[in-house]
Amino acid sequence: MSDLLGNITEGNSTATVTETAVTTESAVTQTNSAPEISVATTETVASDFHSQLAEDLRQEASLQSFKDINSLAKSYVHAQKMIGSSVRLPSKDSTPEQIAEFYDKIKDLPNIANLEDRSTLYTKLGRPESPDKYNYGLPQELTENNQTLNEFSKVAHELGLNNEQAAKIANFQVQRELQAMEQFKADQIEGEKILKQQWGSEYDNKLAQARAAAKMFATKYPDQVKALLSMPTIGNNPAFLDMLSKAGSSLIEQGHVQGLKSIQISNAAEKLKAIKSNPAFGNSMDPSHNKLIAEYNDLAAIVYGQS
């Protein structure tokens, strides 16, 4: 059986089949040959691309995966973005600017919040293995049994400071303290000079009155007086000492503190103890021996003569 079209074409069946076969074969041939043309074109482009490179680069293994200039450009752009966001550890030859840039980059990195990762990073940056390994380059008398410096070392280690960073901070603070001590001594000498000019021969008595007043007020207002005397210059300020001396004189007259002679005896007794504990006091060969003996005799006359 055949359909209507079959009836119409039945007489030309051989020719139709033959023509169809030829047409189909041609189409298959064309279809199969298209990829071959495309592959050949790509290989030609890749070949041309590599041929444009310098001879010493043509066999570079890292460039063999690139088929054209576009793929190479994309790879380069990606690499530049990676470099821009990367963090490189400073070396001993790094400039201060490079080191500052490094710390600026890592300050907001989320994984730095992890204590283990942070500790590893600090170690790579030069932090000593323990707080007692810091070397500040200070004289031994300033570092030995220095509790403040020991506490600072613990904090510096916790913060991840390397030896150079911690040493700069420690030296800065020590220099400040040394300068403060020098200033204290200078203020003391200057204050004593001014008061001796004003008080003359009454210097010792008036100074004793000032001390008596300070002790009385310290008993009545301990915290306030302690805070006041913690000021580095107040104890050597001639104006402040003069006011205390006047207050002490008034307090003695009113009977609120012990009399001046009692104060002198008490002070002299303390000085006698200090002189007797001085090795030079019992060593006649010491250059200061004779001076100590004379001072001792003067003080003994005050203490024992008034007893």
The CB-side HSE value for 167 (13 A sphere, CA atoms) comes to 13
- pLDDT of res. 159: 87
Task: From 178, 204, 238, give the residue that closes a domain.
Answer: 178
What confidence tier does 157 reach under pLDDT thresholds 50, 70, 90? Answer: very high
Tell whether 213 is covered by a domain: no
Structural domain boundaries, residue 126: 96-178
Query: Is the pLDDT assigned to residue 250 strictly greater than 90?
Result: no
- pLDDT of res. 166: 93
Kindly provide the b/e burial profile for residues 66-84, where b requires at least 16 CB atoms within 10 angstroms of the residue's own CB.
Answer: beeeeeeeeeeeeeeeeee
Contact of 157 with 128, CB cutoff 8 Å = yes
Domain tally for the chain?
2
Q: Which residue has the tokens 């204590």?
A: 115
Tell whether 174 is covered by a domain: yes
Tell whether 270 is covered by a domain: yes
The CA-CA-CA angle for residues 143, 145, 149, to 5°, reads 55
Tell whether 80 is covered by a domain: no
State the average pLDDT over residues 268-286. 85
Task: From 138, 155, 178, give the residue that closes a domain.
Answer: 178
Least confident of 86-95, 265-274, 286-295: 86-95
Length of the chain: 307
State the average pLDDT over residues 227-249. 90
Span between the terminal Cα atoms of the chain, in Å:
158
Write the CB contacts of 289 (distance below 8 Å, at least 6 apart in sequence).
Answer: 280, 281, 283
Tell whether 30 is covered by a domain: no
Query: Is the pLDDT assigned to residue 282 strictly greater than 60?
Result: yes
Tell whether 286 is covered by a domain: yes
Task: From 153, 178, 203, give the residue that closes a domain.
Answer: 178
**Residue that wins the pLDDT comparison between 135 and 36:** 135
For residue range 62-84, list pLDDT tens digits in order.
777 777 778 777 777 766 665 55
What confidence tier does 2 reach under pLDDT thresholds 50, 70, 90? Answer: very low
For residue range 99-115, list pLDDT tens digits in order.
777 766 666 655 554 55
- pLDDT of res. 44: 55
**Residue that wins the pLDDT comparison between 11 and 49:** 49
Tell whether 288 is covered by a domain: yes
Residue type at 241 in one-letter notation? L
Number of other residues whose CB lies within 10 A of the CB of residue 97:
8
46 CB-contact burial (10 Å; exposed 0-12 / middle 13-18 / buried 19+): middle
Tell whether 63 is covered by a domain: no
Question: Which of 6-20, 91-105, 184-198 has the largest mean confidence?
Answer: 184-198
What confidence tier does 13 reach under pLDDT thresholds 50, 70, 90? Answer: very low
**DSSP 3-state of 130:** coil
Least confident of 1-5, 8-12, 162-166: 1-5
